[in-house]
Structure 1
Amino acid sequence: MSGERIILVTKASATHCRHWEDGPENICAINRSHSDMVKFGVEDHDYESVRGKLEALAQRALTVQSRLRAGKTNFLVPYNQNPDYIGRLETLDTIKETLGYGKSQTTRYSRVSLFGLGGVGKTQITLAFSYWVRDNYSDVSIFWVHAASTDRFRQAFTSMAAEFQVPGHDDSKSDVPMLLRRWLEREERGRWVMIIDNADDKELFFARETGRANTSKETSVQSSSRLSDYLPDCAHGSILITTRDKKAALRFSQGKPSIIEIEKMNQNETVQLLQKTLGKEASLEDAESLAARLEYLPLALVQAAAFIQENSISIREYLQLLDESDENLVDQLSEPFTTVGRDSDVPNKVTTTWIVSFNQIQQRGALVSQILSFIFLLDRQTIPKKFVSRYCN
């Protein structure tokens, strides 16, 4: 037969019709007729080309299977999903975009730090993000690490190493956190997000070292004095940190674009929170009054709602208790309570949370703590800015 040659089968039909696999690693072009397409001799050059592609495909398939096995049980979050979580949608969207889980996925940072006052809702936002990732990305693992102390941090890393059966985790001479870091940095572990919660003490992570950890491929026998040395750093993993310290946030994220300040809730969010927690008992007017009285601080509002429910009183009666005296206000904000996502080792009383923050300030500078102590004696809303700036300068 003779005549003009034409293409009977299009490229898409001859391959796999999947535009997301159009890369050269998935396609092998050979100069053959349709009937001879898969007929090869032992020393056929085309056979060598096809065999190379098949071997590479098999290796990738093994890697995918490894990732799937690793991802089946890797949701290690110690808290249930908070059914009363409200708002912060813009903040959540910012976290998603910054970590590469948003709609655009054009810019991705491997670390993002949330910083703000104690009780402002950093952990709750992080918890909401964790469950969102779980529900939308089945191939992404989530790990939660308590970082309020060195012991809690090491305990979390040691538990994860045991959970994943990391080689050497049961060797008393091994630096187990470093073993886990290297294990997570291997590409076959797949994508993961690590939460470092309550990393408020910058010195635990970035203090000058008395002994440096061995980050080579050999087993580490000397522990690092800086917890930051144990944080994995790789293209397939992300770390989300919560801290009260802006300086720590900058050190963790290595730059301003990936730090996010968590501020107090707005009025609409606080009203929704109270109405969802207290139900029909919370009228719009009463909820707005309580939110304003407690400065729109989520932890204080949740604590107030718990007291109202436990004592079967109305919001107005609670407000009357607060207004009777400053001592009553302190007493109410000192009541212990429990809520979803609050670590048992972290103070849950608002006053205790503030005292912890003040003690941290006191350790960093006597002058600052003295100025704050003096300001406490003045009116909380009419303190001249010049008074503070003069001493700061």
Structure 2
Amino acid sequence: MFERAHNFNIEQGTFNAIQGDQLNVQIENTQNSQYNQYVKIEADNLYFQSSKPRSDVIVVKPNATTHFAGRKKELEVLNEYFHLWHPTQKRSRRVCLLHGLGGIGKTQLALKFVESVSTIYSEGHVFWVDASSSDTINASLIAIADLPLALQSGLKSDAATPQQVLGWIASLKDDWIILFDNANDEIGQFFPPGLQRGDILITSRNHNSGRGVGKKIEVDVMEEADAVEMLLTKSEREENDHSTDVARQVARELAYLPLALEQAAAAIRWGICDLDSYIELYRKYRQEFLDNPSLKSASDYELTVYGSFEVSWQQMEEKAQRNDRMGLAAQYAIYLFNICTFLHYYGIDEELFRMAAETWLKHLEQLRMQGPSDGEKVEVPDLLDIINLPYFEKGWNPVQFRTSMHLWQSVSIIKRDATSSTYFIHPLIHQWGRDRYAHDRQRQHSRMTGALLILAARYNAEVDMRLMHRHVPHYIEHLRLVGDVDTNYWDDRLEWFSEVCDGLQDLPTKAAIDMKIVEERLKHLGERHVLTIRAMSAVVTDYAGLNKYIEAKQLLERVLELQRSVFGEDHVETIGSVDNLGLLYLELGNHAEAEPLLIKTLEQRKLIYGEERRPTFTAISNLSTLYQRLGKFAESEKAGLESFEKRKKFLGDTHPDSLSSMENLSLLFSEEGKHVEAETFERPLLEYHKSIVGKNHFESLASMGRLAQIYSAQGKYIQAEELQMELVSTKKEKFGRNHPETITALADLRTTYHRLGKTTQAKAIEYELSNIKDSASSISTALVVEDVTNVAGTTPVIANDSEVRRTWFSDLLQLHPAFLSIPVAVFLTFLVRFFI
């Protein structure tokens, strides 16, 4: 009768809602003072009992949801921890904390547990306390005084104090349990006295809540199957193959957060959208779905998804107002979080911040030492204005960083992966962190993140780019979506936009922007200005990337003339252009013209950099490639091995440049028919790729395919079979059964089966191949994959360093499919070049 009732008028007062079986109601008397009335619901009748003035807090005991799903593991752990005492056992108090993100389902899990423990706790020995504040705790305890068991003992809410209620609970002879729900601060002071009897269950966002906690259980997102079941049930949709598949996609989109799923189900149930159209509308109107006040009334939670996150944010802002070290840590925590929301939500590494802070400090010192008029101005892009990085001015402080990140960990906003020691953020929190700000503030935070990535990439020449493997493409994609570049002409901004387009593989747009830069610089600076020459060099790179080799060669020859005149013959940029011209000749098949240029580049780099620097190693490797094209295998082997040994010695076995040399040598020896030598390079190369980027990455798959061919060429068919079976399995999972990559792998495996005499297996593959259809669609898909593979593994024709762009990110980890087409190496080369 009274379920969901609201806005009832009561003589001299009102109440807002009834949920569950008890409620404190606010009443005003004729003198305008306030006091509480305790309400009981029995057989659809209301009973009021006055109490003395206490608090204006309304305490509502929540009900467990009627559609509880999943959480089997957590319930098992709770049942095991709060086991039924054996009569011979010595009893002691058990305290357990359920902690996790707001909206993750902690309260519902706790209520479900206490509903199911009748065998452990006698009737009337299960108590619920709203622990969100001291006021709600006190009001909840006073409400307990009017429960039947408490009344029998002589307690009454109009006379009892919270301490008396706690003392009465502690005096109970039978086992009891108190659920302190939604605790924010230390609540040990509200525990019943004594330690020999009774149990306590706490739910909190803060994993540090509770004194003497014996067990901590983190409540995480739902399992996929449970999330799908909950979504279909609460949205009142019939379960079938189609609805289950769509619900699975919705659950993934919402990252399995229970509150988001519950409110999505309400939107579907109410007709705001249907199940099939939810994702499309959600992506367009995300904030309306996650922060819609009307949807919260449909759930068992009093806040929207974004509202639940805001609670933690408000707590952090309150801490930031303090004039002490905690206040400073909270301020820094807010600053870090705003940067993290523009990184990828997973794999946020402390090292990124350390490298950026130390690099920024070096540049500030350089600026101070240089002064406003001493020498050429240091080229720092507008993106890196000092106001963007105020907390980096004093360098790196790991204690401050970890303390601030711990503040977010304590309220489950940011988590730490103990295995990798990196941080991660739930995807919906990640989105909320951006959505909560207006566009101008978002733009400011975005540029802070761009500054972080640039500075970290500039840390040193051998920086471990694996730290950025997710963050750079994620950031590029963000810039593309929001168009965060000024339309007016500014040198650094146009260059930034140009490199973003390069990173997105939008070469036609990049070429158009670069031509605009050249046009503007010619107009304002003249042809012989250093910035104009560099802009022309960028257009050369664009032409080469668009396979316009003739145009690239003609423009590069003009650039070389200017560089020799302005910079001199031995300037690094002139040498780089000579090298690029040699590579252009190599691509055009003019090997005779390429050879003297590449030899000259090597000699000059040895003079400038010495024998033990990366540019020298790369020049040697380029020469090896030339000799291989000319069929001079002995010379190619010598140069290739020299480059590899130097890279291995000075850069390490697993440096991207070293891995690139190993791949080149494997291909060279295979071409020569030296399969034993090829195996000695390809086998460890595959192991490195698997450990660095994972077995599903294109680099690993390519290496696996090459090694299988090497085994087959040696007659090692059993080893080849093992690799080819893994290739087929991985490619089916990655590309699908009908994809040409998968078809090729199947055909290779079939050949190996024939060579091993495994006729039955070979025929099974032939039958599978004969049933594969949609080949036209597969071919078009193959072109896309081939293009992506080329991005990841082909040496660009033109680059300041021909292998750097390729090898900066050959250790790229498996990315989200949306980012697979982004040549991150090119973008990172730009980041480093920004400071040169």
TM-score, structure 1 as length reference: 0.64
2:310 corresponds to which of 337, 346, 355: 355
Amino acid across the alignment from 1:124? Q
Aligned to 1:33: none
- 1:369 equivalent in alignment to 2:299: no
Amino acid across the alignment from 1:243? S
Distance in 2 (alpha carbons) for counterparts of 1:124 and 1:389: 41
Distance in 2 (alpha carbons) for counterparts of 1:95 and 1:354: 26
Do the aligned partners of residues 169 and 361 (structure 1) sit closer, same or farther apart at CA in structure 2, a change above 3 Å counting?
A: same
- 1:335 equivalent in alignment to 2:292: yes
Residue correspondence of structure 1 range 53-92 to structure 2 within 5 A: 78-92=61-75
Amino acid across the alignment from 1:263? D
Secondary structure of 1:143's counterpart equals strand
> Deviation digits for residues 50-97 of structure 1, max 9, x if unmatched?
xxxxxxxxxxxxxxxxxxxxxxxxxx9933342210010110111111
Do the aligned partners of residues 171 and 315 (structure 1) sit closer, same or farther apart at CA in structure 2, a change above 3 Å counting?
A: closer
2:179 corresponds to which of 167, 189, 195: 195
Distance in 2 (alpha carbons) for counterparts of 1:114 and 1:366: 28
Do the aligned partners of residues 280 and 162 (structure 1) sit closer, same or farther apart at CA in structure 2, a change above 3 Å counting?
A: closer
CA contact (8 A) 1:334 1:349 kept: yes
Do the aligned partners of residues 331 and 317 (structure 1) sit closer, same or farther apart at CA in structure 2, a change above 3 Å counting?
A: same
Aligned to 1:380: 345
> Deviation digits for residues 118-145 of structure 1, max 9, x if unmatched?
1111001011011112477555621111
Aligned to 2:222: 265
1:243 corresponds to which of 204, 209, 213: 204
Amino acid across the alignment from 2:162? P
Do the aligned partners of residues 318 and 108 (structure 1) sit closer, same or farther apart at CA in structure 2, a change above 3 Å counting?
A: farther
TM-score, structure 2 as length reference: 0.31
Aligned to 1:184: 169
Distance in 2 (alpha carbons) for counterparts of 1:90 and 1:111: 19
Distance in 2 (alpha carbons) for counterparts of 1:311 and 1:135: 43
**More displaced stretch, 147-156 vs 305-314:** 305-314
Distance in 1 (alpha carbons) for counterparts of 2:245 and 2:92: 42
> Deviation digits for residues 245-298 of structure 1, max 9, x if unmatched?
0111xx43x25x411111111111111111222243561211111111111100
CA contact (8 A) 1:109 1:258 kept: no
Do the aligned partners of residues 236 and 84 (structure 1) sit closer, same or farther apart at CA in structure 2, a change above 3 Å counting?
A: same
Do the aligned partners of residues 359 and 80 (structure 1) sit closer, same or farther apart at CA in structure 2, a change above 3 Å counting?
A: closer
Deviation at 1:236, TM superposition (A): 3.3
Distance in 1 (alpha carbons) for counterparts of 2:300 and 2:119: 18
Aligned to 1:209: none
Aligned to 1:149: 133
Do the aligned partners of residues 102 and 187 (structure 1) sit closer, same or farther apart at CA in structure 2, a change above 3 Å counting?
A: closer
Do the aligned partners of residues 116 and 340 (structure 1) sit closer, same or farther apart at CA in structure 2, a change above 3 Å counting?
A: same
> Deviation digits for residues 20-67 of structure 1, max 9, x if unmatched?
xxxxxxxxxxxxxxxxxxxxxxxxxxxxxxxxxxxxxxxxxxxxxxxx
Amino acid across the alignment from 2:305? V
CA contact (8 A) 1:115 1:260 kept: yes
CA contact (8 A) 1:81 1:340 kept: no
Distance in 2 (alpha carbons) for counterparts of 1:127 and 1:297: 18
RCO higher in 1 or 2 (8 Å CA, sep ≥ 6)?
Answer: 1
Distance in 1 (alpha carbons) for counterparts of 2:275 and 2:77: 34
Amino acid across the alignment from 1:78? K
Amino acid across the alignment from 2:132? A
Distance in 2 (alpha carbons) for counterparts of 1:389 and 1:281: 52
Distance in 2 (alpha carbons) for counterparts of 1:237 and 1:389: 48
Secondary structure of 1:260's counterpart equals strand
Secondary structure of 1:92's counterpart equals helix
CA contact (8 A) 1:198 1:242 kept: yes
Secondary structure of 1:159's counterpart equals helix
Distance in 2 (alpha carbons) for counterparts of 1:126 and 1:108: 21
CA contact (8 A) 1:99 1:108 kept: no
Deviation at 1:162, TM superposition (A): 3.2
> Deviation digits for residues 314-356 of structure 1, max 9, x if unmatched?
22211111222xxx211110113235643xxxx4201011111
Q: Which structure shows the bigger proportion of residues in helix conformation?
A: 2
Do the aligned partners of residues 140 and 95 (structure 1) sit closer, same or farther apart at CA in structure 2, a change above 3 Å counting?
A: farther
Do the aligned partners of residues 312 and 351 (structure 1) sit closer, same or farther apart at CA in structure 2, a change above 3 Å counting?
A: closer
Structure number, greater radius of gyration:
2
Distance in 2 (alpha carbons) for counterparts of 1:134 and 1:263: 26
Distance in 1 (alpha carbons) for counterparts of 2:299 and 2:117: 18
Aligned to 2:268: 308
Do the aligned partners of residues 312 and 143 (structure 1) sit closer, same or farther apart at CA in structure 2, a change above 3 Å counting?
A: same
CA contact (8 A) 2:93 2:197 kept: no
Do the aligned partners of residues 237 and 340 (structure 1) sit closer, same or farther apart at CA in structure 2, a change above 3 Å counting?
A: farther
Deviation at 1:161, TM superposition (A): 1.7
Secondary structure of 2:235's counterpart equals helix
Aligned to 1:217: none
Amino acid across the alignment from 1:197? D
Do the aligned partners of residues 237 and 230 (structure 1) sit closer, same or farther apart at CA in structure 2, a change above 3 Å counting?
A: closer
Distance in 1 (alpha carbons) for counterparts of 2:146 and 2:203: 25
Distance in 2 (alpha carbons) for counterparts of 1:144 and 1:389: 46
Aligned to 1:98: 81
Deviation at 1:187, TM superposition (A): 3.9
**More displaced stretch, 114-123 vs 94-103:** 94-103
CA contact (8 A) 1:139 1:191 kept: no
Point out where structure 2 has 5 or more consecutive residues left out of the alignment.
1-58, 320-325, 356-397, 403-836
Distance in 2 (alpha carbons) for counterparts of 1:99 and 1:389: 44
Do the aligned partners of residues 102 and 182 (structure 1) sit closer, same or farther apart at CA in structure 2, a change above 3 Å counting?
A: closer
Distance in 2 (alpha carbons) for counterparts of 1:140 and 1:171: 20
* Equivalent residues, number: 280
**More displaced stretch, 237-246 vs 178-187:** 178-187
Aligned to 1:111: 95
Secondary structure of 2:96's counterpart equals strand
RMSD: 3.0
Do the aligned partners of residues 170 and 130 (structure 1) sit closer, same or farther apart at CA in structure 2, a change above 3 Å counting?
A: closer
Deviation at 1:171, TM superposition (A): 6.9
**More displaced stretch, 285-294 vs 127-136:** 127-136
CA contact (8 A) 1:122 1:262 kept: yes
Do the aligned partners of residues 167 and 279 (structure 1) sit closer, same or farther apart at CA in structure 2, a change above 3 Å counting?
A: closer
Distance in 2 (alpha carbons) for counterparts of 1:284 and 1:109: 44
- 1:127 equivalent in alignment to 2:88: no
Deviation at 1:380, TM superposition (A): 3.4
Aligned to 1:67: none
Distance in 1 (alpha carbons) for counterparts of 2:290 and 2:193: 39
Where does structure 1 differ by over 6 angstroms across 4 or more consecutive aligned residues? 105-108
Distance in 2 (alpha carbons) for counterparts of 1:128 and 1:389: 45
Distance in 2 (alpha carbons) for counterparts of 1:369 and 1:312: 35
